[in-house]
Structures are given as C-alpha cells and as structure tokens.
Amino acid sequence: MKFDPASNIQHLKQFGEFGGVNPSITDSSTFTFLHADTMEETFLGHTEGCFLYSRHWNPTNKYLADALAAMEDTESAWITASGMAAITCAILQLCSAGDHIVTSVTSYGGTYAFLKNYLPKFNIDVSFIDITSLEQVEAAIRPNTKVIYTESVTNPLLQVANIPKLAEIAHQHGTLLMVDNTFTPMIMSPARLGADIVVYSMTKFINGKNDCVAGAICGSKKFVDDLSNVNNGTAMLLGPVLDPLRSSSIHKNLHTLHLRIRQHSKNAMFLALELAKAGLKISYPGLETHPQHELHKSLMNESYGYGGMLAIDFGSVQKANLIMQKMQQADVGYLAVSLGYFKTLFSCSGKSTSSEIPDSVQQEMGLSQGLVRFSVGLDNNIEDSLKLILDICHEEGVIS
C-alpha cells in the first residue's frame, strides 16, 4: 500500500476540549499541577501528557506537531516560530565545536549565511558541494562530520537531491541526513526515503496564506525530546516558540494542503510546458529536459505532481526586473519574496532570496543574474497568466 501523507493527517482524531471538531486553542503560557511532585517529575522529564510552560510544550502546538509527524511519517515533531529557527535549532542540537557539516552550495540564502557566516564562531566547519554529485558528497565527508544537509529540491536552481543515496552515504559514515522539504511537502516524504531529520518553513506551502512565519522539525521521539529538554535542549533554551493562536490557524490550513499542492503543481506544469515551447529557458523538475526529472519521479508520492516552483532565466537582472514589474502591473502576480501563496510570486533570486551568497559563488554554482524564481499560484484560469507572460516576453524581445 502506497504512503499517502494527506490520508495520514485525515485519519488523526484531534477533538477540542468540549468535543469541538477543531482542537482547542490553549492560550496559556503556564500550567497548573494538582500535586507538587508531578511538577518536579515533569521538570525532570519523567512524565507524559503534562504541560509545564509553553516554551517547552503547548497543547495547541502539540496538535500541530502530531499532524506534521503523521504527514512525514516520523515519530515526533517540534514547532518553531520560523523556518530558520527550525534549521538552526536542529543543527545546533546535533553539532558542537569541532564538528563538520557537508551541505549543498545551492540553498536558501538565509541557510547559506547561517552555515557560512555564523557557525564559524562556534568552530563548526562546513563544506559546500554540488549535492547532485554523490562523488563530491563522499569526498567531503570527514571523521568529524555530523550532518549532511540538503534541500529536497534546491532553492532556487531546483536541483533534486538523491535522498536515498545521500542517506546511504551518511549512515555508512555514521552521520545524519537532514533535509529541508519546504518546496515539496506531500510531494516527497524524506524520512521515508532515509532522512533522519526533516525541517520546514511552514510559512510557505504548509500554511499557504503568507500571514505568519513558522517552522517545524520532524524526526525521532528521542531527537525531539532532546530538543525540548529543559537542561540542554536547543529549542527549549533558545526559545523559538510559536504562538498557539498561529499554530491553530496553520493546523487548519494543513488539512487543505493536498488540494493546494495539486493545483500549484498543475498550474506550474502547464506554465513550464508552454513557456518552454515558446523558447524561454525554463527549469522545472516536471519537464523531461530537467537533469533530475527521472530521479524526482522516482522519489515523489503519487498524485501531488512536481510542485509549484519553477525558474526562468531572462539573461540579465535588468531584463528580469523589467519583466517582473510588467507582470505585476498586468496582474500575473506579485513581485515579492517567499512562496506557497495563492497568488503567483516572483523575484530575481540572485538579488533577493540568494543575495547572501557572494556573486562569485553564485556564478560558480550556475545561478544566472537574470534567474527569476516563480512560486506559481492557485489561479483557476492559468491560461490567462500564460498569455500575459508571453505578451510581455514578446514586448521585451526575450522570445520572437
């Protein structure tokens, strides 16, 4: 029987305090105990089902965490106040001074900046490699390597990571594989493919409304318990807790994720096919011309498509900026960073979400200055957007 993340969420029985069909929102920072010794045991981590303080656990966050664990088929999950909080807490929980990380040079700019610029102050070394080259991954591993870190589909070049092979390499060397699955929720299930830890920016597709910032860490019960340990848990001590009101709204939005992902994928595939026919330089994993198309096909869950992210290279940043401005004026979408919104969003990656990566490194990794990342929206009539894009591209001479 094939794994279906949406059905796993749907089968959860999560009722409100008085039988509400939506789980209750626990709007409390602290919790009472009927017996003093229960409080003591809870602080020691010896009790189940007790809540002591919302920086540690909140019942509303626990509902969302359980739903995410069901979606990812992991034992547990932890909710954070941003995607970067999920990434940084997970890495800092695993790594100490003197440790080493192997990572993809093609990553979200904030992740790159954390790994390249921030971790050296803790004497944690990072090797940046082409994640699609398993030879480079193998060659980069050292005796002190603790983590191989990648995005399932990289930002913004849309390279596809071979998660099963990366997991095999990691485990052969006694290290862990951590995967950021923000671009492909439900489409890929990294933990089922061998990843040890899966992180998300829930700000994006999972929430889908661009009305909040949130993140998640999915993994083993032991890892999540370690993260939330009152004495040395990174998430507990750094305190990136999500407000329960936001957690509740994300939880409700999670139940429509399968429908939204299918529509994002459908629209993106349509645009990718038609724009490629028109002669534009398109990167989209659903196209047979994509270098990792067959790999993506082998990793994906059935019926969710290839995702809502595509990239178009307009050649220069000047041309990209002009086309993006015209697309916004024509109501194709919004000139804005982020992704997973119901409207199409587009930005020139090298000058926005990847701007933390030096120009020389962008050039080495193949990131064109004119590359525009599209998060394709939920348009009911995507044909209208296609016509507008083609008309603008004709006007600007990027297609004949």
H/E stretch holding 169 reads helix 163-172
The band of 357, judged by pLDDT with boundaries at 50, 70 and 90, is confident
Q: What's residue 1's pLDDT?
A: 63
- How large is the C-alpha radius of gyration of the chain? 21
Domain ranges in the chain? 58-254, 258-395
Query: What is the pTM (predicted TM-score) of this model?
Result: 0.95
- Percent of the chain's residues with pLDDT above 70: 99
Helix (H, G, I), strand (E, B) or coil at 214: coil
Q: Distance between CA 234 and CA 71 in Å, rounded?
A: 24
pLDDT at 352 over 80: no
Give the residue among 108, 163, 109 at the shortest CA–CA distance from 137.
Answer: 163
Q: Distance between CA 25 and CA 230 in Å, rounded?
A: 24
pLDDT at 350 over 70: no
Pick the CATH number of 258-395 from 1.10.10.60, 3.90.1150.10, 3.40.50.300, 3.40.50.1970: 3.90.1150.10
pLDDT in tens, 299-347: 999 999 999 999 999 999 999 999 999 999 999 999 999 999 999 999 9
Q: Distance between CA 179 and CA 335 in Å, rounded?
A: 28
pLDDT in tens, 123-141: 999 999 999 999 999 999 9
Assigned architecture for domain 58-254: 3-Layer(aba) Sandwich (3.40)
Q: What's residue 366's pLDDT?
A: 78
Instruction: Find out whether 317 and 351 touch, Cβ atoms under 8 Å.
Output: yes
Helix (H, G, I), strand (E, B) or coil at 348: strand
Average pLDDT, rounded, for the chain: 94
Question: What residues have CB less than 8 Å from 114, skipping those under 6 apart?
Answer: 84, 87, 88, 91
